[in-house]
Amino acid sequence: MGEATTDSEPPKLALADLRTEIDRIDSAMHELLMERGRIIDRLIEIKARQGGGSAFRPAREASMMRAIVERHRGHLPLDTVEGIWRIIISTFTYLQAPYGVHVDVSRGDAAMRDSARFHFGFTVPCVPHLSAADVIAAVAESTGDLGMFALDGGPRASAWWSRLTPRDAPKVIARLPFVERGDHPAGMPVFVISRPLADGGARDVVLEAITLDRWRPDYPHGLRAIGAEIIGSAAEGMGLGLLVSRPGGLASDTVSATLRDAGAADVRSIEIGAHAARFDASALRSDGA
């Protein structure tokens, strides 16, 4: 007769084998991160020979995050996967060219800090400010920092977008989160600004700062008809200031022409930035099925 075995031995062997596999995978992931770092070293050398340039690539980041969400499977929470990649992307960008993130905390510290740390990690310095205007000023005075504030600019914002209209002023380069869903741990919609980028920007959605004579009820309907939207409004001098988003494929004068058709007078429009199209992942099941 063969040697007797207890029922507990096979599970112990299976657990040991699985833990060995986990250790192998952890080691492989670490090696891949270090390999990514070596590639970034080469990228830095090539950019230095070519005269430098911004390390920010908002269009590429948005595309990467969308691809990660679309291929995700299994029970590992999407929040975890997205957060890991945000830290990887932001940290390796920081290694290429150190930068800080100026954050408007005027509406409360917790939500904005959660958003900043989720999207940029803990390696990138985070500098708090008490208004969107202060964030814009800090970015304008920096050599390569980013700024972040809520879409409405916070309780002390007024027409913050007018501060982005000068040619050399900071511009909107992203809207976060790149991947939207109802239970996102850092789901408060925010804009990210930087000094103007020479390349690498996303232009799915273009933002325009509009000044005109006064409000008319036909504005929203007319803009919706061309795929545009009013996302901010404030008194500006003797008239009205609007922040309008439009599809990047529209001609630059389409919004102004639409507002004039709706009765607006003295319409002036200046582009203040652009960002990637919003990607709503709320319909995707968390288990990837």
Residue with tokens 């340039």, as numbered in its chain:
53
Torsion, CA 245, CA 247, CA 248, CA 252, rounded to 10: -70
pTM, two decimals, is 0.87
User: Which CATH class, in words, describes the domain spanning 206-274?
Assistant: alpha beta
Give, for all 289 residues of the chain, the pLDDT tens digit: 555 555 555 677 788 889 999 999 999 999 999 999 999 898 888 877 766 667 889 999 999 999 999 999 999 999 999 999 999 999 999 998 899 999 999 888 788 889 999 999 999 999 999 999 999 999 999 989 999 999 877 666 678 999 999 999 999 999 999 999 888 888 899 999 999 988 888 999 999 999 999 999 999 999 999 999 999 998 887 789 999 999 999 999 999 999 999 999 999 999 999 999 989 887 665 444 4
Q: Where are the domains of the chain?
A: 18-50, 58-199, 206-274
Strand partners, 244: 208, 230
Neighbours of 233 (CB within 10 A): 15
Residue 261 neighbours by CB under 8 Å, 6+ apart: 222
Residue 92, burial from CB neighbour count under 10 angstroms (0-12, 13-18, 19+): middle
